[in-house]
Amino acid sequence: MLSALSISDIVLIDHLDLDLRNGLCVLTGETGAGKSILLDALGLALGSRADAGMVRKGADRGVVVAVFDPPADHPAWQLLKDQDLDLHDGLILRRQVSADGRGRAFANDRAISVGLLRQLGE
């Protein structure tokens, strides 16, 4: 389950922290309010294709951090273990995209390939 989402310098978002731990969370808003931007940012953290156009104008890079609390039997734990990644209380996926379109991916603060990020996000 997604428990937190942090977005910095992605499209129109300067900085946003969402705590999604308690209760039912619903995204609502008028057309153009930014709901799709939130979903696109989450997609970045899960390994979607990134490009320089996602970085907010004037920023050097955009960053998305998604924190998940997967159940103990979730396959992500085995993927982390297979990669000798630190096993925290949760799964922290981070994606950085620079203004020139280059990107970096991290799982629990360790650099990983975007392919592995996609696997963890499944």
What residue segments make up the domains of the chain, in order of their start?
A: 2-121
CA torsion, ordered 73, 77, 82, 88, to nearest 10 deg: -140
Structure tokens, 78: 């085995």
pLDDT of the residue at 88: 67
Say which CATH class 2-121 falls into: alpha beta
pLDDT of the residue at 77: 83
DSSP per-residue string spanning 21-59: -SS-------TTSSHHHHHHHHHHHTT----GGGBPTT-
Measured from the Cβ of residue 95, the count of other Cβ atoms closer than 10 Å reads: 27
Q: Consecutive sets of 10 residues in the chain, 122 residues long: mean pLDDT of each? A: 94 93 81 85 92 92 93 83 76 93 91 89 78
